[in-house]
Amino acid sequence: MEDKVVELRGVTKIYGIGRVRVVALHNINLDIWKGEFLVVLGLSGSGKSTLLCIIGGIERPTSGRVIVNGVDLTQLSDRELTRFRRRVVGFAFQFFNLIPTLTAKENVMLALELRGLKGKEAEEEALRLLSQVGLEERAEHFPFELSGGEQQRVAIARALVKNSFILLCDEPIGELDVNSGKRVLAILKKFSEEERRTVVLVTHNTAIAKIATRVTRLGNGEVSGVYVVRSPIDINELTW
Percentage, residues of the chain above pLDDT 90? 65
Q: Please list, in sequence order, all residues whose beta carbon lies within 8 angstroms of the beta carbon of residue 46, skipping any fewer than 6 positions away.
A: 218, 219, 220, 221
pLDDT tens digits, residue range 150-191? 998 999 899 888 666 799 999 998 888 888 889 889 999 998
pLDDT tops 80 at residue 2? no
Top-confidence residue, 18 or 35: 35
Residues 6+ apart with CB under 8 A from 115: 86, 87, 161, 162
Contact 120/197 with Cβ under 8 angstroms?
Answer: no
239 burial type by CB count under 10 A (0-12 exposed, 13-18 middle, 19+ buried): exposed
pLDDT over threshold 80, residue 1: no
pLDDT at 6 > cutoff 90: yes
The whole-number average pLDDT for the span 23-42 is 96
Render pLDDT for 47-88 as a digit per residue (tens, 0 to 9): 999 999 999 999 999 999 999 989 999 999 999 999 888 788
pLDDT of residue 32: 96
Q: What is the dihedral of CA 225, 64, 88, 47, to 10 degrees?
A: 40
**pLDDT given for residue 179 in this prediction:** 86
CB 200 within 8 A of CB 52: yes
Superfamily of domain 35-59+78-237: P-loop containing nucleotide triphosphate hydrolases (3.40.50.300)
Q: What is the mean pLDDT of the chain?
A: 91
Residue 132 is predicted with a pLDDT of 86
